[in-house]
Amino acid sequence: MALWKPDPSFYPSPKMAMQAPPERHAYVAALNYGRNDQPDAICVVDLDESSGSYGTVLNKMDLPNVGDELHHFGWNACSSALCPFAPHPHLERRYLVVPGIRSSRLYIIDTKPDPTKPHIAKVIEPEEMMAKSGYSRPHTVHCGPDAIYISAMGSANGEDGPGGIFMLDHFSFEVKGPWEIGRGDQELAYDFWWHLAEDVLVSSEWAKPHQFENGLVPEDLLANKYGHRLHFWDLRKRKLAQTIDLGAEHQMVLELRPAHDPRKSYGFAGVVISTEDLSASIWLWHQKDGEWKMDKVITIPPVPAAEEELPPALKPFAAVPPLVSDIDLSLDDRFLYISCWGTGELLQYDVSDPLNPKLVGKVAIGGIVNKKAHPKSDGPLLGGPQMVEISRDGKRVYFTNSLYSTWDDQFYPDKMGGWMVKVNVNPDGGMDLDPDFFVDFGETRVHQIRLEGGDASTDSFCYPS
């Protein structure tokens, strides 16, 4: 796993990463929870346009247990290993760290010697993970310069404690323990990322396990009991430095996307829904006078709909909320992509001026009411744009359609199957759905995508472009 020279897929700057060769395959988290007695899997999808098997599943690696519920996952190492203070510059981007968010089990999956035929190298059972970390329901994985960082939604006993972040050793994959030393009043957890040059970690809030495992709890949502704060931490001291409350009505502050250029101290956060008007929103964090500030820079309104077209959870509102469930930022910090899982739209904003985003592209597919088909799909599609991944050069965007098993069934009660599509991006803005790329996973649902050699939501950089 240690190399004499840095892994060739590590790049000092975002600009250098954008010059990398195109990805040839993707790893996709596939889940079967609540559908059958089959285990979840990691699927390998062919992305090489010159290949005879382009747009198909090359391999499906079934896990040994049933009921893990794969969700997010990530690489063991990435470009952050090149940071000047990184203790292990000769790590190798080789292993996928794959949590089961429902089982609290961690899989370490080796992508060598054949990257299209991954295999399990190690399993960290729930009892060990919880005993050593103090947490359960692992979620986001980030390859840090000094360790592998993983967020977790619950405490070890499930409910009576805060969610947070724990670390794995880069080499042995042993659980090192919880990351936080001084957490203040932080209680809820979800996503996190950082500004490495500023020694700042940013974390967001979703919910506790009882608020999501069996589906959205409408009473808790209407009472504004889901997360609505963003936390800023001293990364070196591992202590909470500042918290910003977006307002209780802004429920579920989920995905975080900081600028990739280390000279820029700003980033974007996505809010799923407002309990005031069902809108979704994007917020910009930035520094002003030595403090972190948050500004709402994008508002996405709901779409009116007839009651008979809506699932039971939405009938009283006579509208479809956008339900922004993922965002992603291109490596040049120019385009922000927003998944509107409810309305079935992927939006593209030019954020060259981050305080004044401009809508420049839109693709429609799926959606609670429209169920818009793909040219290669067999009829209408359930689900909508959900987990988004951008190629390093910014020319291709891939996305899948499943949010979380029980939430899928609440908002798409006709039992969605899994699919993955691709969008081709115009250099100056605008995008088009690729009519020839449609991967049908059958009744198996799909969530996170990781691209060969890295992507726009994996790597962190310490050198400016």
What is the 3 state secondary structure string of 21-88? CCCCEEEEEEECCCCCCCCCEEEEEECCCCCCCCCCEEEEEECCCCCCCECCCEECCCHHHHCCCCCC
pLDDT of residue 156: 93
Band of pLDDT at residue 4, cut at 50, 70 and 90: low
What pLDDT shows up at residue 90? 84
| Mean pLDDT for the stretch of residues 418-434 | 97
CATH class of 14-451: mainly beta
- Sheet hosting strand 148-155, strand order edge to edge: 135-143, 148-155, 164-168, 175-178
User: Once rounded to an integer, what is the mean pLDDT over residues 116-139?
Assistant: 97
Query: Is pLDDT of 99 > 70?
Result: yes
pLDDT at residue 159 tops 80: no
The DSSP letter of residue 320 is E
Judging by DSSP bridges, how do beta strands 419-425 and 57-62 pair with one another? unpaired
pLDDT digits (tens, 9 = 90+) for 73-94: 999 999 999 999 887 778 999 9
Q: Which two tokens stand for residue 150?
A: 């993983």
Mean per-residue pLDDT for 190-212? 97
**Which residue's entry shows tokens 């007695």?**
37
Question: Residue 95 pLDDT more than 90?
Answer: yes
Coil, helix or strand for 4?
coil
pLDDT at res. 3: 56
Percent of the chain with pLDDT over 90: 94
pLDDT digits 0-9 by tens, 337-383: 999 999 999 999 999 999 999 999 999 999 999 999 999 999 999 99
Residues 15-73 have pLDDT tens digits of 999 999 999 999 999 999 877 889 999 999 999 999 999 999 999 999 999 999 999 99
Report whether pLDDT(158) > 80: no
Q: What is the predicted pLDDT for the residue at 88?
A: 79
Q: Are 282 and 230 in contact, with CB atoms under 8 Å apart? A: no
pTM for the structure as a whole: 0.97
Q: How many CB atoms lie within 10 A of CB 97?
A: 25
Return the pLDDT at 89: 76
What sign for the dihedral angle of Cα 17, 21, 22, 24? Answer: negative
> Is the predicted pLDDT of residue 147 greater than 60, yes or no?
yes
pLDDT, averaged across the chain: 96
* Lowest mean pLDDT, pick from 34-43, 118-127, 295-304, 309-318: 34-43
Tell me the mean pLDDT in the region 253-264: 98
